[in-house]
Amino acid sequence: MSDPTSLLDEAARLWADHLANVGPEKLGEASGCAGWTNRDLINHLVGGGHRYAMLLEGASAADTLTTRDVDYVGAGDPVAEFWRSDSAFRAAVDSADLDVEVDHRAGRRPGHQLLVMRIMELALHSHDLCVGLDAEWSPSEGLVDFVLTDAAPVIEELRAAGMFEAPIEPASDSAADRLLAFAGRS
């Protein structure tokens, strides 16, 4: 596995850079996630940092349900809310035994897999936000390669649980387009 800490830093910056460009007029626009607005996507991603922190601290999947209805966008500055959730997640990663299984809603898994999943969702959801903003998505080759290799088994497992669309034909041979196609995105 590549260095997950530097990839988490990179994926978080990629997300936050695009998040900083979401004005109130764009919140209700459709994101790249079918059925989700940009607001829905932002709330999902910010809440995800809190949920993953809770799981690493021993909470159950049922315990995390309380975070699913929180409006992190309406709480103030979405970028600040994101960095708060990112800090909570990182603190939990730093203090947890990542070999211990957590009770994720898609099934029990070791904590280190949550780190992989967080990098993956930050990378892929930054694309979804770019779609909602009509912005260019430009992740690094290293981040794309990580998600295509280290996160691929997780994507397949989540796909089997109905959390990812079926793969599609890539728009080009570029690694970024292959990743999007593998993740069911165009």
pLDDT digits (tens, 9 = 90+) for 27-81: 999 999 989 999 999 999 999 999 999 999 999 999 999 889 899 988 678 999 9
Q: Where are the domains of the chain?
A: 4-138
> pLDDT band at residue 1, thresholds of 50, 70 and 90?
low
Angle at 47 between CA 43 and CA 51, to 5 degrees: 160
The pLDDT tens digits of the residues spanning 96-121 come to: 999 999 999 999 999 999 999 999 99
Q: Which residue has the tokens 């994926």?
A: 11
Decide if 151 contacts 116 (C-beta within 8 A).
yes
Q: Three-state SS for 100?
A: coil
Total-model pTM: 0.95
Q: Which two tokens stand for residue 56?
A: 């690493």
CATH class as words, domain 4-138 = mainly alpha
Express as a percent the part of the chain with pLDDT over 70: 98
DSSP of 34-82, one letter per residue?
TT-BHHHHHHHHHHHHHHHHHHHTT--TTGGGGGTT--TTTTS-HHHHH
> pLDDT band at residue 2, thresholds of 50, 70 and 90?
low
